Amino acid sequence: MVAVGDRAPDFTLPLAGGDAYNDLTEFQLSAALGDGPIVLAFYPAAFTSGCTEEMCAFRDAMAQFNELNATVYGISVDLPFAQNIWIQSESLNFPMLSDWDHEVINKYDVVQEDMYGMIEVAQRSIFILDSDGTVVYKWVRDSGNPEFEPFISELREEVATLTK
């Protein structure tokens, strides 16, 4: 299990940029380190109400994360083509990472095994990494969803402590 103080497990995933359904590039976490804090926002599934509400709260606060030189990535097991359409439909202003083979949700131990009693998805969770790739904040949902706007503001404050 990844804990605060641990080095974040490295991974390589398809990155959905959102400019077109096939806007895909390769993303490697270790290559993204060093440019500022990274927020990894694991969510169960695109196009669902809770995930849309959460990612739209990030969208609406993105300028505040940008001011801190922080990069936000959504991560789900959705295929990147679906993520691109979702980015477009919700005007999301940050990229999504497609953990289509479930490798990363297992590495980070954030597997929700029974969505709708049928499929394995990411458990809603947040990891904040410093520029060196150390996990400095971890939150994993253990009951209902938080109120997302205040929660995202709290995350922004966590990120701000890294830039002081």
Among 102, 97, 36, smallest CA distance to 70 is for: 36
Q: What are phi and psi of 129, to 5 degrees?
A: -110, 140
CA distance 49 to 111: 19
Q: What pLDDT score was predicted for residue 163?
A: 79
pTM of the model: 0.94
Q: Which of 9-23, 42-56, 139-153 has the lowest mean pLDDT?
A: 139-153
Q: What pLDDT score was predicted for residue 144?
A: 79
Under the banding of pLDDT at 50, 70 and 90, the label for residue 146 is confident
pLDDT for 63-113, tens place per residue? 999 999 999 999 999 999 999 999 999 999 999 999 999 999 999 999 987
Q: What pLDDT score was predicted for residue 119?
A: 74
**Architecture (CATH level 2) of domain 12-162:** 3-Layer(aba) Sandwich (3.40)
Under the banding of pLDDT at 50, 70 and 90, the label for residue 164 is low
For the cut 90, the answer to whether the pLDDT of residue 115 exceeds it is no
What percentage of the chain carries pLDDT values higher than 70?
A: 97
Catalytic residues: 51
Q: What pLDDT score was predicted for residue 143?
A: 80
Q: What are phi and psi of 99, to 5 degrees?
A: -95, 55
Q: 87 exposed, middle or buried (CB, 10 Å; 0-12, 13-18, 19+)?
A: buried
Per-residue burial over 11-31, b if 16 or more Cβ lie within 10 Å, else e, is bebbbbbbeeeebbeebebee
Q: What pLDDT score was predicted for residue 16?
A: 96
For the cut 60, the answer to whether the pLDDT of residue 116 exceeds it is no
For the cut 80, the answer to whether the pLDDT of residue 26 exceeds it is yes
Q: Which are the contacts of 129, defined by CB distance < 8 A and separation ≥ 6?
A: 8, 33, 37, 38, 39, 40, 135, 136
In whole numbers, what is the pLDDT of the chain averaged over residues?
93
Q: What pLDDT score was predicted for residue 158?
A: 92
Q: What are phi and psi of 152, to 5 degrees?
A: -65, -35
